[in-house]
Each structure stands twice: as C-alpha cells, then as structure tokens.
Amino acid sequence: MKFMGYERPDGKVGVRNHVLILPTCACASETCRIVASQVQGTVNIINQAGCAEVKGNEDITQRVLTGFAANPNVYGIVVIGLGCENHSHKSVKASIEKLTNKPIVSFGIQEEGGTVNTINKAVKAARSMAAEASKQKRVQCDISKLMMGIECGGSDATSGLAANPAVGNLSDRLVDLGASSMMSETPEYVGAEHILASRGATPEIHDKIISICSDYEAHLAGVNQDLRTGQPTPGNKDGGLSTIEEKSLGCIYKGGTRPVVEVVEYAQIPTKTGAIIMDTPGYDIASVTAMIAGGCQIVVFTTGRGTPTGHALAPVVKITGNSETYQRMIDNMDVDVSAIITGEKSIEEMGAMLMEELIEVANGKITKAESFGFSDICIDRICRFI
C-alpha cells in the first residue's frame, strides 16, 4: 500500500511539510509565535519549559524539542532562544543536527539586541526556508514509512466497545503492512497490564510492560499519592467507566493484537518497526506531545465524551463510538464508528474504513483540529502527570 508523502534527506517521510519555529525556552515562545504569524508555511509551538529545570526535567524537555524538529512532518527549523537559558539556541541546534540533516538556523534574542531584531532576522530566514519547502512535491511512498500514534481521551463506555477495537484493527492492518503503531498512556494499562504484556515479542518486553506500570504506581506512592484519585476522571465515570481496571481493559484494545516489539521512554524515537509502546502519563495532551516527538506523523485519537485536541506538527484524527458525541461535537469529531454498537458494521469493516481515512489524511486531507489551527503542548515532568 502507498501514500503520497514528502521525502526527507534523513530517509524519513512526512505527511505534512512544515517549517517549525522552535523556542528553546518559555522566554522565546512569544517571539516564535510572532515570526510564525508573519510567514505562510510555518508553525510554532508554545514551550513553557526549557530553563531553571532539574536535570531530569531538562532531559525530558530537550528530548521533546529535538524530537519535534526531527519529526518527518517538518521540512526545516528556525530555532530561537533567549540567551541565558540552560540550553542555548546553538546547543539545541547542535542536538537537532545529531538527529537529522534538515535545513536549520538559530538566533538568540539577547545576542540580536532584542525582540524586533530577532524577529526581522528570523522572518527573513523562515521566508527563505518556506519558499524552498514549497518547491517540494509529494511522491508515492510505501506505507511502511508511516508511524501512527494511538491516543484516547474523554473515554466512555463506547470507547472500549467500538472506537478502541476499531483502532486496534487499524493498528494490526498497519503492522501487517510493515508500518508502525505506537500506543501510550501507561497508567491506563494498570489492572490490565498482564493482558497487554502477553503481547510482548520477548520475555524482556513482557517484563518491561509490567515494570513500567509498577514503577508508575511506586513513583506516586513515594509521594503518598494514588493514581486512582485521578483515574477514572469525572467524565469517564459519567460515561460509564467506574474503575481504572475497567478503563484499562477498554484502553488496551486500541493497540491491536500484534506482538509488541519495543517499549520506549517518554518522547524517545523508536529503533524498531511494528507495534510499539511509549511510557507516558495518562494525560492525553502530554502523551500526544511525546508520540509526535517520537516521530509519529499522524495520531488517531479515540474519545467518547469528545475533545478538541490537536497539534501543530501532526494531524490528529478524532474518532468516536458515541453517535451523540459525534453529532454534538461535529466541529471536532472526524470519524463516527458507532455503527459497531448498533450492529450495522463490524469491527473489521470499521477498521478498513479507518485505513482509508488514514491514507486520505496522510495524502493531505485536513483534520478538524488542523482546520482550527489547534496546537496543544504539554511536557511530562519528573513529578509525573497521571
């Protein structure tokens, strides 16, 4: 199977062709926003971290920033820093260059003499880069070049009955074609981790899946917290999910049935192809952030209650098994798979339909979140989200 994508000099393939205006720290985020607003073809992200962090948080932030730059949907990068942060624009640029050989330039606000001078120089560089990006044409690429992120948020009973099984079928289809799918949200395996771990391709992967769950609970217990105080959420409970175990049993459906070949850290780029698990919080925005930093070009997002979530760098396809949510939040929902619940369609039929939708989005179809220009960013911290 093929899709039409943008070939990158590092051998990867994008489904979008963005020039990224990347702030090294919070102090540069507004400058990056202004630059992106003046150059068509560019996007910016809001970075609320990047300085005065403990080493563990600093490492996580840098993995996310460099991962965003390396994402295949990015043609080139304009890095902007302040000048007194832990990692300067030059060091962030150097870190990105170790991951990818895309076009990249960087500027420091203090070095350039303030915001206006920095904007003038960055806009000029971004316009030049965007002009070069616009020359690139989509070419036919094999589906094996695709990595799909899998997320859920605002789950209800229909998620485990329809949306998650349909996405699981889609995941299996992709893996069988040589592509990759990545599932996240470690706290939402708790109570069902033994079932998920049985998919481990090796005993080591089996044990790793068990350990990331037990480590998460131990981490919270170390500060006298229990993930069950935040999971399930009030919306989950209103939607019919009464316990974390019940939520987890529905959650793991969306990862499909194929052997898990690798378990990676938060925002880490995988080394293998196939079904992959990323160790992330249950907070959906923090998980989507990490999977895109890990290289996912598209994210499929199941939701029963509904959510507007999107990301600047990758299309987020919103899928619901709740027909009422689809109608009520039509501005945000992309696909309705409630026909599984009514018995009009099978899980396999909906999986095939989702594959068609995925290819259309990969080929350039704009998702609902993209049409709004939504960009939700949240980076996990050492004192983790649940």
Closest CA to 303 of 290, 315, 316, 286: 316
**Do both 101 and 204 map to the same domain?**
no
Q: Is residue 310 part of a domain?
A: yes
Q: How many domains does the chain have?
A: 2
**Do both 71 and 161 map to the same domain?**
no
**Do both 268 and 183 map to the same domain?**
yes
Does the pLDDT at position 90 exceed 90?
yes
* pLDDT confidence of residue 232: 77
Q: Write the pLDDT tens digit of every residue in 186-198.
A: 998 999 999 999 9
Q: Is residue 9 part of a domain?
A: no
- Which structure tokens are listed for 19? 């020039």
List, in order, residues 6 or more apart from 328 with CB less than 8 Å away: 306
DSSP helix/strand/coil, 243: coil
Domain boundary among 99, 117, 135: 135
Segment (H or E) for 323: helix 323-328
Q: Is residue 150 part of a domain?
A: yes
**Do both 250 and 287 map to the same domain?**
yes
Does the pLDDT at position 15 exceed 80?
yes
Q: Are 177 and 268 in contact (CB under 8 A)?
A: no
Q: Is residue 33 part of a domain?
A: yes
**Do both 259 and 131 map to the same domain?**
no
What's the whole-number mean pLDDT along residues 1-17?
97
DSSP 246: H
Q: Are 338 and 323 in contact (CB under 8 A)?
A: yes
**Do both 181 and 119 map to the same domain?**
no
**Do both 91 and 195 map to the same domain?**
no
Q: Is residue 101 part of a domain?
A: yes
**Do both 188 and 69 map to the same domain?**
no
Output 90 or 241, whichever has higher pLDDT: 90
Domain boundary among 105, 135, 165: 135
Domain extent, residue 50, equals: 18-135
pTM: 0.96
- Please say whether the dihedral angle defined by the alpha carbons of residues 291, 193, 306 and 317, taken in this order, is positive or negative: positive
Paired sense of beta strands 42-44 and 74-81, if any: unpaired
**Do both 189 and 330 map to the same domain?**
yes
**Do both 221 and 111 map to the same domain?**
no
Q: Is residue 233 part of a domain?
A: yes
Instruction: Report residue 262 CA to chain centroid gap.
Output: 17
Does the pLDDT at position 233 exceed 80?
no
The secondary structure of 122-166 as a DSSP string is: HHHHHHHHHHHHHH---EEEEGGG-EEEEEE-S--HHIIIIIHHH
What's the whole-number mean pLDDT along residues 110-121?
98
Domain boundary among 104, 135, 166: 135
**Do both 207 and 335 map to the same domain?**
yes
Q: How far is CA 315 from CA 84, 148, 311, 368, in A?
A: 34, 10, 7, 9
**Do both 337 and 207 map to the same domain?**
yes
Does the pLDDT at position 246 exceed 80?
no
Q: Is residue 4 part of a domain?
A: no
Q: Is residue 296 part of a domain?
A: yes
Alpha carbons 27 and 324: distance in angstroms, whole number: 42
The secondary structure of 19-84 as a DSSP string is: EEEEESSGGGHHHHHHHHHTSTTEEE-----SSS--HHHHHHHHHHHHHHHHSTTEEEEEEEE-SS
* pLDDT confidence of residue 236: 83
Q: Torsions phi, psi of 207, nearest 5?
A: -65, -35
